[in-house]
Structure 1
Amino acid sequence: MHDTSANRRLILRLLMLVVVMFGFGFALVPIYDVMCQAFGINGKTAGAYDGAQTVDEARQVRVQFLATNAAGMSWEFRPLADELAVHPGASNEMLFVAHNPSDQPMTAQAIPSVAPSKAAAFFHKTECFCFTQQVLQPGERIEMPVRFIVDRDLPADVKHLTLAYTLFDLTARKAPVPVAGR
C-alpha cells in the first residue's frame, strides 16, 4: 500500500513539473522580448513609428546593409547598395534583390539585426520584406524594399549603423504557394 501512495505522489509531482515546463515554454517569448528591449540585445529594431519628427539636416548617419544566407539557403540575396548616408528623421529606402536559382518554388524569411545594439531602438522600419515570408518560383528574381527612419534621438556618438539580414529557407516547413500575378 505504501508503494502505491509513493507512486501516486511521484506521478503527481512529475505531472506538475510537465505543466510548469509547458507554461515556462509559453512565457519564454515575452520574457525574451522584454529582455531584448531592456538591454538592447539582439539588435531588435524599434516598434511602430509615429513619423512626427522633423529631419535633422545638420547630421548624417551612415547605414550599412548586409545580406547573408543561412546554411542550406540557395538564393542569391543582396542589397542594391552597400550603404547610404541618411539624415535622422528622414524616410529612406533600400532595395534588396532575391533570386531563386533552383528548379523548385521556395519559401524564405529574412531575419533582421541592427548594430550597434544600443542604436536598434532608434531604427524604425516602416515597411520591410522581413515582415512576411517570401515565395519565389523557379528562376524568379524580385526586388524587395525596406523603408526606414533613423530616429532623431539616436545618441550623438553613433555615426554608423549596420542593418543585417539573414535569409532562411522555410520550404521544408511550409509548402510554397504560387503567387498570382508574379
Structure 2
Amino acid sequence: MRGRHILPPPGKGRTVVQTVGVVLFMGAMAWASVPLYDWFCRVTGYGGSTNYADAGSEEILDQTIKVRFDGSLERDMPWEFRPLQREMEVRIGETGLAFYEAYNPTDVPVAGTASYNVAPFDAGVHFTKIDCFCFEQQVLQPGERVEMPVTFYVDPDIVRDRDAKFVHTITLSYTFYQTDLPETTTEQAANATGADAAPRAN
C-alpha cells in the first residue's frame, strides 16, 4: 500500500528525548562532580572533610576529647613528614595547636600540597580548622626543615549530634603529594644553576 506511513509507537519519541536528556545530565554531573562532591563533603563531613572558621569557638565545654595526628607521603614524594606530637587532649570548643615537621633531603626545591581527612567520618563536620599549612602549597628548599602549624577546635555541637556524640577520639591525617613548583621558584632555581655554571673572571 503505497503512500502509507508507518508511525512510531506512541511514546517512542518521548523515550528518545528522555534518553538524550539523561545522557546530557550525566555528562554535566561528571563535569561538576569534583566541586559538588567537595561541597557535599564540607557541608556534611562525609569522607572526613573538615570545617573552617576565622576564630575560635565562643563555647568551651568541660568535656574533653582526644585528638590523634598522623602523617604520610605519596609514593613519589621525596620529603620526610611527621607529626611532632602523636596525640593531645583538649576541651571541646577549646582551640588546639599542633605541629607537623617536613624535611626536604634532596638537592633541589620541592613543592608539596597536603590532603587530609578526619576519622571517624561522623566527626569530620565538627572538626574545625582556623589555620593550617594545608590551606596553601608548601615549597621546601634543598635541605630545608620546617615546622608547620595547624590550629583547630572541636565544635561543641558534636555532643548534640546523634551519630558523633559518642566519639572520644578523633584522628587527623595528612598526606603530602608533590606538586609543580611556582614559576618564580623555578626561575630562581634556573638562575642559580646558571650562575653556578658561569665561569668566574680572574
Give the TM bin, normalised by the shorter chain.
Answer: 0.7 to 0.9
1:165 to 174, 177, 189: 174
Q: How many residues align?
A: 161
Cα deviation for residue 152 of structure 1 reads 1.0
TM-score, length-normalised on structure 1? Answer: 0.78
Q: Aligned residue for 1:133? A: 137
What SS does the aligned partner of 2:75 have?
Answer: coil
Please, which runs of 5 or more residues in structure 2 have no aligned partner? Answer: 1-22, 160-164, 189-202
Q: Distance in 2 between matches of 1:113 and 1:20?
A: 28
Letter of the 1:64 partner, please give it.
Answer: R
Partner of 1:101: 105
Q: Separation in 1 of the partners of 2:136 and 2:105?
A: 21
User: Offset at 1:53?
Assistant: 2.1
Shift of 1:50: 5.5
Residues 29-178 of structure 1: pairs in structure 2 closer than 5 A: 29-37=34-42, 40-48=45-53, 51-56=56-61, 58-155=62-159, 156-171=165-180, 177=185
Task: Determine if contact 2:56/2:130 at 8 Å carries over to the other structure.
Answer: no
Greater C-alpha Rg: 2
Aligned-pair CA distance for 1:81: 0.6
TM-score, L = length of structure 2 = 0.71
Does the 8 Å CA contact 2:57/2:94 hold for their aligned counterparts?
A: no
Query: CA offset at residue 55 of structure 1?
Result: 1.4
2:71 match: secondary structure = strand
Percent identity of equivalent pairs? 38
Indicate if the aligned counterparts of 2:117 and 2:172 stay in contact, CA closer than 8 A: yes
1:149 aligned counterpart, secondary structure: strand
In angstroms, what is the RMSD of aligned CA positions? 2.6
5+ long unaligned stretches in structure 1: 1-16
Report the 3-state secondary structure (helix = DSSP H, G, I; strand = E; otherwise coil) of the residue aligned with 2:171: strand
Higher helix share: 2
Q: What's the CA shift string for 1:37-57, capped at 9, x where partnerless?
A: 46532211013356352211x
